[in-house]
Amino acid sequence: MHPSIAGTTPPPPGALLVLDHLEKRYGGKGNGQGRSPGTLALKDFSLTIGQRNFVSLLGPSGCGKSTALKMIAGLLPATAGRIHWPAGAPAADGTGFVFQEPTLMPWATVFDNVWLPLRLRGQARDAVRARVEAALLAVGLQAFAEAMPRELSGGMKMRVSIARALITRPQLLLMDEPFGALDEITRGRLNDDTLALWAAHGFTAIFVTHSVFEAVYLSRRIVVMAARPGRVLAEIAIDEPYPRSEAFRHTARYGAWCAEVSQALHAADAGEPGHG
């Protein structure tokens, strides 16, 4: 279940999600020597996400990017602050989550892994066959429906994970550094596939990455986070049209955007204030 508490300030038009001064602290239990304060992962984290947007969270390791994503998904409670859904929180199947690892069931076929969210909703395999096949077609795996995960490459496993996340046709897709372990060629192809799926389905995407180059290529907006405790130091709008292609990566504009975002990331790593 998603946390949803009405905010006190009216959200801007078209807002899907408002994070209002979120804080997340891990631990903090007594240790026999008094009470430990624990680890403050996020502090005063405020962000508004518009509908149909593509937003990347970029920051040093351990700055709370994944924590923020899990709080949005309702997988972690906030220690303080609020999460507000101006138009109402998505239903249980209105949010898709792609984790860092594919997390596939090793004993199930590709088809059955993608079917899983619908199966948990009580939908029979044969009744949703066309829908699952369409999801596999969308990620280029229509010929591997009966394959087992052990027979797939790392990139193919991640495609299965994306298809599974999209099978419920979510309003919001959360992606937690899904391509970080892949080679550069496969990563680039999956970047293109992700943008094509985003354009076709019209969901809002929040994408966690450590890569400046990936963030610039994918995003309409990049949120640069400070080192722990995580907070927003800079927000950079990537004012470039879609669709984007490999040719964009070789333009002077792309290089300039990467330089600007890199500068903001270095400031974040040093704990300096950024710009928005």
One domain, residues 55 and 125: no
Per-residue pLDDT of the chain (276 residues; tens, 9 = 90+): 333 333 445 667 788 999 999 999 988 664 545 556 788 999 999 999 999 999 999 988 888 999 999 999 989 999 999 999 987 777 667 899 999 999 999 999 999 999 999 999 999 999 999 999 999 999 999 999 999 999 999 999 999 999 999 999 999 999 999 998 899 999 999 999 999 999 999 999 999 999 999 999 999 999 999 888 889 999 999 999 999 999 999 999 999 999 999 999 988 766 554 433
Structural domain contains residue 31 = no
One domain, residues 182 and 230: yes
Structural domain contains residue 9 = no
The DSSP code sequence of 17-35 is: EEEEEEEEEE---B-SSSB
The first and second tokens of residue 250, run together, are: 């070789």
Q: Looking at the 3D structure of the chain, how many domains does it have?
A: 2
One domain, residues 158 and 255: no
Q: What does the alpha-carbon distance between residue 110 and residue 115 come to, in Å, rounded to a whole number?
A: 9
One domain, residues 124 and 183: no
Structural domain contains residue 80 = yes
One domain, residues 231 and 134: no
DSSP 246: G
Q: What does the alpha-carbon distance between residue 75 and residue 198 come to, in Å, rounded to a whole number?
A: 23
3-state secondary structure of 55: strand
One domain, residues 140 and 267: no
One domain, residues 196 and 250: yes
One domain, residues 265 and 155: no
Provide the domain limits for residue 122.
104-170
Q: Which of 115, 135, 170 is the last residue of a domain?
A: 170
Structural domain contains residue 166 = yes
* Helix and strand counts by DSSP (H, E) for the chain: 7, 9
Beta bridge partners of 208: 57, 176
Structural domain contains residue 32 = no
Q: What does the alpha-carbon distance between residue 169 and residue 160 come to, in Å, rounded to a whole number?
A: 15
End-to-end CA distance of the chain: 32
Tell me the CATH number at 228.
Answer: 3.40.50.300
**Phi, psi (degrees; rounded to nearest 5) at 244:** -105, 150
Structural domain contains residue 148 = yes
- CA nearest 96: which of 202, 160, 191, 170? 170
Q: Which of 147, 170, 193 is the last residue of a domain?
A: 170
Structural domain contains residue 2 = no
Structural domain contains residue 5 = no
3-state secondary structure of 230: strand
Q: Which of 170, 195, 211 is the last residue of a domain?
A: 170
